[in-house]
């Protein structure tokens, strides 16, 4: 794809550092090839027994975007400018259910959602996942059956705040010892 603008990093850690979750999207439309590339990357996600239980609704035509925007909660009105909204959903009976009661469908949906965000990053796009929307409204507006759990909406687009040299504020993360434990858990 000749129009690809790729991030300048070559390692996964650098790509992850480059990932951004903007709240100030440019209204510039995404090319169909860009949207297709995000779908292809997501389709390669791991899943239990390769069940691929995720379902993603890509909203990029203006009428579909308007419907999707109706489901945003007030605190996420910033997402109205995003030229692509992706709704992630799945259902329990489409994936592994262990004897001890663990359902993998939402885990697998999360894995696939992360690939959406990473592919968007590689294409120099911002991708911000949100819980601040009304899942039932999405189901109603887009005729999604009740047995599906609508879990996430991801706003994707070009970052309107992008500086000319690509600088961005330092990402704040907990120190490693607060989230990772070696050989035993200590609270």
136 three-class SS: helix
Stretch 147-159: mean pLDDT, rounded? 97
What region, left, alpha or beta, does residue 24 occupy, with left being phi > 0 and alpha being psi -120 to 50 degrees?
A: beta
| pLDDT score at 10 | 72
Stretch 134-140: mean pLDDT, rounded? 98
Whole-model pTM: value is: 0.87
83 three-class SS: coil
Closest CA to 167 of 6, 20, 45, 28: 20
pLDDT digits (tens, 9 = 90+) for 16-61: 777 777 788 999 999 999 999 999 999 999 999 999 999 999 999 9
| pLDDT score at 165 | 43
| pLDDT score at 161 | 74
| pLDDT score at 55 | 97
**Residue 21 to residue 155: CA distance in whole angstroms:** 9
Would the pLDDT of 6 be above 80? no
């Amino acid at each position: 794809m000749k129009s690809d603008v790729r991030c300048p990093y070559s390692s996964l850690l650098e790509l992850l550092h480059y990932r951004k979750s903007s709240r100030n999207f440019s209204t510039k439309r995404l090319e169909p090839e860009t949207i297709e590339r995000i779908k292809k990357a997501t389709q390669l996600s791991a899943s239990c027994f390769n069940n691929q239980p995720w379902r993603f609704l890509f909203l990029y035509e203006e009428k579909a975007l308007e419907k999707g925007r109706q489901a945003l909660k007030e605190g996420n009105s910033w997402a109205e400018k995003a030229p692509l909204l992706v709704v992630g959903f799945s259902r329990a009976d489409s994936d592994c259910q262990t004897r001890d009661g663990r359902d993998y469908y939402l885990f697998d949906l999360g894995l696939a959602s992360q690939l959406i965000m990473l592919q968007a990053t590689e294409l120099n796009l911002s991708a911000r996942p949100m819980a601040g929307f009304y899942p039932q409204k999405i189901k109603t507006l887009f005729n999604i059956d009740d047995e599906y759990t609508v879990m996430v909406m991801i706003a994707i687009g070009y970052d309107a705040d992008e500086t000319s040299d690509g600088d961005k504020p330092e990402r704040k993360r907990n120190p490693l010892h607060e989230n990772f434990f070696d050989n035993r858990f200590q609270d």
